[in-house]
Structure 1
Amino acid sequence: MIPGTLPRPAGRPRARRAARIPLALTTVAALLSLDLPEAGALPPPGVTVRADADTTAARVGALFAGGTDGGHFCTASVVRSTGRDLIATAAHCLDHPDSTVFAPGYRDGEAPYGLWRLTGVYTAPGWAVGGDPDADIAFARVVPADGAETGAVEDVVGGFPVAARQPRDVTVTVVGYPSTEDAPLRCTNGTSLFSATQRRIDCPALSGGTSGSPWLVDGALAGVLGGHEGGGTVPEVSYSAVLGGAALELYREAA
């Protein structure tokens, strides 16, 4: 889905990509290995329900413009990184990173794990130059918005490993925040390839604000809601750019 509509500061430049940070292969392997969150009862396939307040939901949060008073417009999730400070979302959600804050586990007007501001954004060249829907994934570093030394976000809520190159019909769980809801929704269903570079899922009620929602395969990030049509123009059908080699390289750069 496209992000929810919120007033935005005018004239903000897009954040530049941070410098490449090389990783040893052993470090990359550790970041990609599974560390599964607790498994709760899943709804039937293709049914969207309110997500339980479990470990999975704690790692997913809403993106706000400035603070929680203004309403949320997109979704993001914490992923594993060496700095333990990385989130993943749709690239089209980060047009104004300087004013964006992340609230993991946001529920019923409360941010139980605090607010986190963005300090650096990683987007692929295809998105930065031409807004390529096949590159509609981004990573961002975060720190406590209030400046408190409370540790890294992954230390607080944990983080999802990343699992690229999934089969065409893999079953995923989407967890995200419609802009009209104050708690995340959850839906599990099989997927199909809309094209060689775009994956599709049928799940109702994933409306505006769910852009950037993680697509989880056995507790690992396999995509984010976005890509074709900004993630979809109707709440019943959503898309994600296929998480392939280019996205994996972007993740390695960020992580």
Structure 2
Amino acid sequence: MSNPLKGEAFSGTAQVGTLFGTSNGSLTSHHCTGSVVSSPQGDIVVTAAHCVYSSSGAKTGLAFVPDYNDGSMPYGVWDVSAVYVAQQWISDRDPDYDVAFIVVHKSGSSTPIQSVVGADTLAVDRSYTALTTVIGYPSDSNEPITCTNYTSEFSSTQLQWDCDGYPGGTSGSPFLTDVNSKTGLGAVDGVIGGYETGGDSPDVSYSVHFTTWVSQLLAEAESKN
């Protein structure tokens, strides 16, 4: 039976954006999603580790574009200057550690991205089952999509979330709970990734179940930033 829920295109939300590759100072194609997460310096985005760290190390030439929509970049382009992933991901691509924090800066500006677009709060050790909104950027579209459904426990370390229309490009999309209807901000307790790097079909997505190690990784990114 097909999933009756399907991601719908919408205008976007300020703190969620897409990751582009860059070449000679210009954007190329977008390939993953990320969201600004609250931090003291205000310059950190959470995404999936497989989006930003490959077998050869941290990927270079990346840029984050918040609230991207069909060529519109209302908050500009933010270059990725550092990538933080768990040692378990570096060592053997452990799907239970498919989470990354990246540091972003806008050329010519000292204002942190959090001050411009707001930020979601990081949530760990939450229930496996929660009403969750997932916002993502499919690679074959220039518009963000959104869908809301309950997560479930896929395993002790992984969440499952069912909604059709989340193909490649939506990796790193935030699992948002307690979303404020006015601001669009919420608590992020997962990102598309993990098992099957987030799922091998567009109607079922997965995420690492965020526990204490995720907040420790964020703290590491903050301390070295």
Normalising TM by the smaller chain, what interval? 0.7 to 0.9
Between Structure 1 and Structure 2, which shows a larger proportion of strand residues? 2
Matched, 1:205 2:165: yes
In structure 2, the residue matched to 1:86 is: 44
In structure 1, the residue matched to 2:83 is: 121
Counterpart of 1:52 (choices 11, 32, 35) is: 11
Q: Following the alignment from structure 2 to structure 1, what is the Cα–Cα distance between the partners of residues 7 and 102?
A: 28
Q: Following the alignment from structure 1 to structure 2, what is the Cα–Cα distance between the partners of residues 66 and 248?
A: 29
In structure 1, the residue matched to 2:130 is: 170
TM-score, scaled to structure 1: 0.78
Give the secondary-structure state (helix, strand or coil) at the position aligned to 1:102: strand
How far residue 150 of structure 1 moved from its aligned partner, in angstroms, is 5.1
The aligned runs of 1:85-104 (5 Å cut-off) are: 85-95=43-53, 96-104=58-66
In structure 1, the residue matched to 2:181 is: none
Matched AA of 1:175 = I
In structure 2, the residue matched to 1:158 is: 118
Give the secondary-structure state (helix, strand or coil) at the position aligned to 1:187: strand
Q: Following the alignment from structure 1 to structure 2, what is the Cα–Cα distance between the partners of residues 228 and 207?
A: 14
Structure 1 stretches of at least 4 aligned residues deviating more than 6 Å after TM superposition: none
How far residue 133 of structure 1 moved from its aligned partner, in angstroms, is 0.4
Instruction: Give the percent of matched residue pairs that are identical in Structure 1 and Structure 2.
Output: 42
The aligned runs of 1:140-151 (5 Å cut-off) are: 140-144=102-106, 147-149=107-109, 151=111
- Point out the more displaced range, 112-121 or 95-104: 95-104
The answer to whether the Cα contact below 8 Å between 2:6 and 2:165 also exists between their aligned partners in 1 is no
Q: Following the alignment from structure 1 to structure 2, what is the Cα–Cα distance between the partners of residues 169 and 79?
A: 22
In structure 2, the residue matched to 1:71 is: 29
Q: CA offsets per residue over residues 113-138 of structure 1, 9 Å max, x none? A: 11111111111111011110000000
Give the secondary-structure state (helix, strand or coil) at the position aligned to 1:229: helix
Q: Following the alignment from structure 2 to structure 1, what is the Cα–Cα distance between the partners of residues 110 and 40?
A: 17
Unaligned stretches of 5+ in structure 2? 179-185
Q: CA offsets per residue over residues 137-164 of structure 1, 9 Å max, x none? A: 00011111xx212511111101111111
Q: Following the alignment from structure 2 to structure 1, what is the Cα–Cα distance between the partners of residues 110 and 213?
A: 33
